[in-house]
């Protein structure tokens, strides 16, 4: 079985940055990822990443990929199913292969949170999705609902207002809690109707979703909205379920210190999957750097 000094799992800002720093330290590195860019691929513009005034997520991800590939890094575009401890080493099991390494850095990021409303799974990809940017164009000139009044929900509503004829922004809270600069723009769009205090309970339809029912938390009444598409944007959960030998928070974030070290020696966590509080691309990239330098130090001390 192929053995490496270091395996990096993840190709988002954390994983890409870690790969570049590891390669520059001449560590024998393998990078395993399902994609390049990670969550950045889900947004149509980034305006707060240093050096990029306004860039699409797709374009910035391509630049990350190009930068990583400028180094002699062994890359596998695969899904990792499990990471296990094997003596002092780690076994990384993918859908096709197994690898051993002395150290591991995970930059696994997060995935969309499920609402757990009735019929959510039934209409998955049949009118219900978790990525406005990916699915939005399917609903040109149609009526849609965006569920979620936070960062991603408000961003998704603005994006959908340019495509759909009508956007219902369904928010369980009393007011929108997204980034102020985004929230301020919502009332400027006549085709966005914000419905606060609305707890989504159920989706209905025949083969495809035709609408949703929510509880009006002020009156206790159940109300209905007919829509042709629903984007659920209620936040994200860490993709840490492939690792079970390190300490995690209740939410599933891998507990890491300021050097990205975890409870397991030789195992480092960077970016959104770790306990950093600021889930931002530039913070994840900085974390990737720290994790790689910590891993190099660990490998040299070994
Ligand atoms: C809609 C949206 C808009 C955003 N807008 C901004 C913004 O404007 N500015 C900003 O700074 N941040 C923004 N963010 C947040 C930013 O994208 C994240 O903070 C950042 O991408 C986190 O980087 P990461 O490397 O930790 O994780 P991710 O970007 O999530 O990358 C995780 C990587 O791990 C890979 N992976 C996960 N599990 C496995 C597995 N089992 N096997 C193989 N590979 C795996 C994934 O394929 C991916 O490549 C936004 C996020 C979203 C969802």
Question: In testing the pocket of ligand 1, which one of 75, 109, 159, 181 has its CB within 8 Å of the most ligand atoms?
Answer: 109
At residue 277 the predicted structure's pLDDT band, cuts being 50, 70 and 90, is confident
Q: Is 32 in the pocket of ligand 1 (CB under 6 A)?
A: yes
Ligand 1, residue 94: give the atom nearest the CA.
42
Nearest CA to ligand 1 atom 33: 10
How far is the C-alpha of 128 from the C-alpha of 216, rounded, in Å? 21
Task: Tell me the two tokens of residue 157.
Answer: 């509503």
Residue whose Cα lies nearest atom 26 of ligand 1: it is 271
- How far, in Å, from the CA of 147 to the mean position of ligand 1? 21
CA 46 to ligand 1: nearest atom: 8
Protein residue with its CA nearest to atom 38 in ligand 1: 108
pLDDT of residue 133: 80
Active site residues: 131, 134-135
pTM, to two decimals: 0.85
Tell me what pLDDT residue 177 has. 96
Q: Nearest 5°: CA angle at 15, between 12 and 21?
A: 135
Query: Residue 255's CB: how many other CB atoms inside 10 A?
Result: 14
Structure tokens belonging to residue 12? 């988002």
Share of the chain above pLDDT 70, in %: 100
Q: Which architecture characterizes domain 128-232 according to CATH?
A: 3-Layer(bba) Sandwich (3.50)
| 98-106 vs 267-269, strand pairing mode | parallel
Taking residues 126-132, what's their average pLDDT? Answer: 93
- Please indicate whether residue 293, judged by its CB atom, sits closer than 6 Å to ligand 1: no
* pLDDT tens for each residue of 168-222: 999 999 999 999 999 999 999 999 999 999 999 999 999 999 999 999 999 999 9
**Running DSSP on this structure, what letter comes out for residue 118?**
B
Alpha-carbon distance of 131 to 119, in angstroms, equals 18
Domain residue spans of the chain: 3-112+236-301, 128-232
What whole-number distance in Å separates Cα of residue 122 and Cα of residue 125? 9
Lowest mean pLDDT, pick from 62-66, 93-97, 227-231, 298-302: 298-302
H or E stretch covering 104? strand 98-106
Please give the distance, rounded to the nearest whole angstrom, from the Cα atom of residue 195 to the centre of ligand 1: 29
Q: Which atom of ligand 1 is nearest to the CA of 16?
A: 25
| CA nearest to 232, candidates 121, 110, 142, 140 | 121
Shortest-distance atom of ligand 1 to CA 156: 1
User: Fold match between 3-112+236-301 and 128-232?
Assistant: yes
Ligand 1 pocket check for 97: Cβ under 6 Å: no
Higher pLDDT, 252 or 136: 252
Question: Contact, 121 vs 22, CB < 8 A?
Answer: no
Q: Which fold has domain 3-112+236-301?
A: FAD/NAD(P)-binding domain (3.50.50)
Average pLDDT of the residues in 131-137: 86
- Per-residue pLDDT tens digits for 210-246: 999 999 999 999 999 999 999 999 989 999 999 999 9
Q: What is the mean pLDDT of the chain?
A: 96
Q: Is the pLDDT confidence value at 302 over 70?
A: no
How far does the centroid of ligand 1 lie from the alpha carbon of residue 176, in Å? Answer: 23
Band of residue 46 on the pLDDT scale cut at 50, 70, 90: confident
Q: Is the CB of 46 under 6 A from ligand 1?
A: yes
80 Cα to the center of ligand 1, angstroms: 16
Å from CA of 9 to ligand 1 middle: 12
Determine the average pLDDT of the residues in 70-87: 96
């Amino acid at each position: 079985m192929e053995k490496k000094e270091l395996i990096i799992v993840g190709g988002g800002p954390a994983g890409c940055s870690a790969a570049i720093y590891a390669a520059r330290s001449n560590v024998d590195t393998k990078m395993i990822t399902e994609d390049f860019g990670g969550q950045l691929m889900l947004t149509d513009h980034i305006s707060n990443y240093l050096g990029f005034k306004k860039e699409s997520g797709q374009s910035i991800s391509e630049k990350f990929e190009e930068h990583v590939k400028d180094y002699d890094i062994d890359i596998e575009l695969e899904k990792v199913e499990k990471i296990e401890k094997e003596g002092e080493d780690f076994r990384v099991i993918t859908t096709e292969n197994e690898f051993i390494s002395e150290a591991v850095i995970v930059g696994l990021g997060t995935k969309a949170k499920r609402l757990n409303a009735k019929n959510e799974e039934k209409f998955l990809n049949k009118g219900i999705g978790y990525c406005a940017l990916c699915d939005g164009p399917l609903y040109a000139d149609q009526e849609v609902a965006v569920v979620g009044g936070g960062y991603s929900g408000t961003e998704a509503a603005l994006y959908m207002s340019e495509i759909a004829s009508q956007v219902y922004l369904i928010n369980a809270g009393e007011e929108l809690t997204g980034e102020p600069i985004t929230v301020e723009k919502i009332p400027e769009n006549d085709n966005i109707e914000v419905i606060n205090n609305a707890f989504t309970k159920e989706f209905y339809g025949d083969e495809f979703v035709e609408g949703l029912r929510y509880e009006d938390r002020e009156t206790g009444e159940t109300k209905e909205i007919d829509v042709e598409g629903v984007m659920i944007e209620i936040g994200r959960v860490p993709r840490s379920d492939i690792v079970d030998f390190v300490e995690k928070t209740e939410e599933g974030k891998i507990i890491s210190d300021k050097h990205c070290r975890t409870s397991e020696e030789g195992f480092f966590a960077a970016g959104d999957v770790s306990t950093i509080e600021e889930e931002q691309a530039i913070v994840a990239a900085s974390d990737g750097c720290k994790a790689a330098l910590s891993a190099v130090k660990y490998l040299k001390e070994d």
